[in-house]
Amino acid sequence: MPLRGTEPIKNLPMKFSRQCPVFSGVGLLLLLFFFAAGCATMRQQRAKKMPEVIEDLSSEDRGRIMAGEIAIGDSPEMVYLAWGRPGRKISIIRDDEELESWVYFGYRREYIDTYPSWHSFDRWYYDLESDHYVLFPSPSFRYPHTATYRVPYVRRRVEFSEGAVIAVEQLQQ
């Protein structure tokens, strides 16, 4: 006679199955549809706003722009399609030539540990075991505390002269 609880389970009162609507074919298709609806890249969204620029490009240039690459001689519209709106536009006058520079920023996180001063310890409690008063931090105090800052840096810069790219600077990762 087998031990109690080791015999195979038969005739369960409820059937356990994967008939949940999420796992059914229709539910899975709906889930995929909602997931795919937001998957258009930013370049594709910009290209939909500027179809006339995309249509005028050769297939090689179109593929390069949609891959996020720019080259010397590209127009500002092509740079916008590839990299998006710049963080800053700077006008430069050099040797009687008017240039425009587009600056793209990246952001990195910096973590700074902050430590409390003695003012943070403001509660005195009587400790029965040691038979004296003990100084404890206030309940709202978190020790140690880490502050997070977003620090911008220049990631890319493009210079234009007479409506064409003449220089590209890009930070190497």
Region 146-152: mean pLDDT is 77
- Which tens digit of pLDDT belongs to each residue from 80-120? 999 999 999 999 998 889 999 999 999 888 876 655 544 45
pLDDT digits (tens, 9 = 90+) for 27-85: 666 655 555 554 458 888 998 999 999 899 999 999 999 999 999 999 999 999 999 99
| Residue with the two structure tokens 């190497």 | 172
pLDDT at 8: 53
**Which distant-in-sequence residues (6+ apart) come within 8 Å of 147 by Cβ?**
111, 112, 113, 114
Do the beta carbons of residue 161 and residue 72 sit within 8 Å? no
The residues, ordered by sequence, that sit 6+ positions from 111 with a Cβ below 8 Å of its Cβ are 146, 147, 148
Could you tell me how far CA 124 lies from the centroid of its own chain?
Answer: 45
Pairing of strands 88-94, 97-114: antiparallel
pLDDT given for residue 117 in this prediction? 47
Q: What are phi and psi of 127, to 5 degrees?
A: -100, 115
Segment 128-143, tens digit of pLDDT: 666 766 666 555 444 5
- CA distances (Å), origin 103, targets 112, 134, 170: 28, 56, 10
What is the rounded CA–CA span in Å between residue 132 and residue 124?
10
With beta carbons less than 8 A apart as the criterion, state whether 150 and 144 touch: no
Query: How far apart are alpha carbons 65 and 59 in whole angstroms?
Result: 10
Q: Which residue has the higher pLDDT, 131 or 4?
A: 131
Evaluate if pTM is beyond 0.95.
Answer: no
What pLDDT is attached to residue 118?
Answer: 45
